[in-house]
A and B are shown apart, each in its own frame.
Chain A
Amino acid sequence: MRIARILSLFWRTSWAAEAEYRGNFVFAALASAGNLCASACSLWLFYQGGGGFPGWTFDESLVVLGLFSLYTGVVGSVLAPNLGRIVQHVEQGTLEFVLLKPLDSQLQVSLRVLSPWGLADVGWGVVLLVAGLARSGHAQPSLLWAIVPLSSGVVLLYALWFLVATTAVWFTKIYNATEVLRGLLDAGRFPMAAYPAAYRFVFIFIVPVAFLTTVPGEALLGRASSSMLAASPFVAAVAFVAARAFWGRAMRRYTGASG
């Protein structure tokens, strides 16, 4: 209850702080729409000349693209604005304030800010998702089945970003490590079937992009393999525990409790 109250204050203040720059929102929405248009067009290009992704119709691929846009929105609204600050906190020494508050420090650095920037992506993503589902004849998607892989996807995305952003505690000079991750996650805009076998291996076992968009997409379309469905919360849990442990390690280093 107390956490909910604090979070609502966190987000209210961050919205108020961005209020003065609200005009940007129109452009952000336009850029986001343009981006999505370009993605949809490139997807369409794949389906020209008899190509396309094996086992996925164009409309089904739109579902994956919609999910990708949704996750891009989460990155833009929550992950990038919050986790991008870890570097600043370390550099300017304001992490001290965070550490001395009687509230979990990982929670404070992860959810301090809710930025409106990603909302357009979320909105367009939902539009695309619904359109893709409706056009591919899945007007009543298997929401219940999808809820687990979808929330696992969000947790996984958070954990991956958090792991990379926390390296800032060691390498203060490097502020753009998350850009590399952002580039790799771009692979999530297409279903895994779009990629050669070697790529798929990487996207399942090394940078688990597959669990972000493809598996939830398949679940929504009611045809996810049970092994992938079972794996997705497991992968998310492992990543989350790793992120939590890594933060603990980073803070032990920051406070000198470890060599």
Chain B
Amino acid sequence: MNEHAPPADAATLVEARGLSRIFRVPVHGEGTGAALRHFLARRYKDVVAVDDVTFSIRRGERIGFLGANGAGKTTTLKMLSGLLLPTKGSVRIGGVDPFPKAPAFLRRIALVMGNKQQLLWDLPAKETFRLNAAIYGIDDATYARRVDELATMLDVARLLDQPVRKLSLGERMKCELLASLIHGPDVLFLDEPTLGLDVNAQVAVREFLRRYNETTGATILLTSHYMADITALCDRVLVIHEGRLIFDGDLRALARRFAPRKELRLELPAAVTAADVAHVAGDGVAGDGVAHVATDGRVVRFAVDPAQLSATLVRALTTLNPVDVTVTEPPIEDSIARILRGDTGGTTPTTTATHSAPATTATTEPRA
């Protein structure tokens, strides 16, 4: 199909090496004088959106790009799909450089953007499908079969003859997916595909993507800032923070990496004193391994490095006579939420659980 050397590993689909993207942004000043100066001699500053990102993806993987707004997820996705030229570094999709957008390459990929639509607003969704089929050169029989299959999988068969403007947001996104998949792509780029959808529609889109991946073996790369999308769908997560790839691995590894400490919660018979805290913390013996998190009346909580856990427990049990002891691993959602807030430096576990999903593992009974 192409003259590029095949990738080292035949199963490798995406190769990104040292991918960087710098945007030049004009600097504006305030006021008319500044506006005039800006007009005459523009000043620019360089904004590094993606900085030296390297990874490879195997055929059939479901990859989630995770990061705060403006972290560089969408820029990365655009470079992978050939929409943006990397400032530095290279991308190969199936051994092909995506940027020239060769027709053979474009026929293999699909891009779905949650906040943008390609469906013709005033017409039934079917019209868009037919148009795309013509553009991609799909014959009538294949077209009919694909629409049939996809419409069944997405449960939208009854919606295809209604004008798009009459559909709900969720129904519209399902039709967007159908329109994007009519040519049977084997690489899917999805940028925030569940943006703004209600919970049911989010689940439906996720389930569809999983089934599409399982039945066709297509590779799925998606960005999202709904953690549920990532945890429910992706077997591998790439975390991008301030343009850099700071994590590449599966969900469990992500939890270990960003929430390596367990939470130790002690309920004491009397109000907690500073001396109690200092004692459990090991009076400096344990170094940074134990950190005091919060005190609330008779309850005190610590973040404990797993290596220090037994020693700390012994200290607490022997001297403080706690009424109740709990050791938990903070839920992965919390650690992800921290990443999305742009807070990756600290290792202190989040103390407020804002998500209903249960913790992935718990060494003892979770807190009541």
Contact = CB atoms under 8 A, between A and B. Distances in A.
Interface string B278-312: 00000000000000000000000000000000000
Contacts of A48: none
A100 B187 CA distance: 13
Interface in B99-118: 99, 101, 103, 106-107, 109, 111, 113, 115-118
A55 interface: no
A259 interface: yes
A50 interface: no
Contacts, number: 71
B127 A16 contact: yes
Query: Interface range on chain B: under 10, 10 to 19, 20 to 34, or 35 or more?
Result: 35 or more
Interface stretch (B7-15, B80-88, B214-222, B241-249): B80-88
A9 B131 contact: yes
A102 B107 contact: yes
Interface string A101-129: 11100000000000000000000000000
Given A100-B111, A102-B107, A256-B84, A92 B116 contact: yes
A102 B103 contact: yes
A140 to B, nearest CB: 42
B99 A257 contact: yes
Interface string A180-202: 00000000000000000000000
A2 interface: yes
Interface residues of A, number: 24
A97 B128 CA distance: 13
A38 B211 CA distance: 64
Contacts of B99: 255, 257
Given A2-B137, A96-B111, A102-B107, A17 B101 contact: no
Interface of B: 21, 23-24, 78, 81-85, 87, 99, 101, 103, 106-107, 109, 111, 113, 115-118, 120-123, 127-128, 130-132, 134-137
30 contacts: A2-B134, A5-B134, A6-B134, A10-B131, A13-B131, A16-B122, A16-B123, A16-B127, A17-B122, A18-B122, A92-B116, A93-B115, A94-B117, A94-B118, A96-B78, A96-B83, A96-B111, A96-B116, A100-B81, A100-B101, A100-B109, A101-B106, A101-B135, A102-B106, A102-B107, A102-B135, A102-B136, A103-B135, A255-B84, A256-B84
Interface of A: 2, 5-6, 9-10, 13, 16-18, 20, 92-94, 96-97, 99-103, 255-257, 259
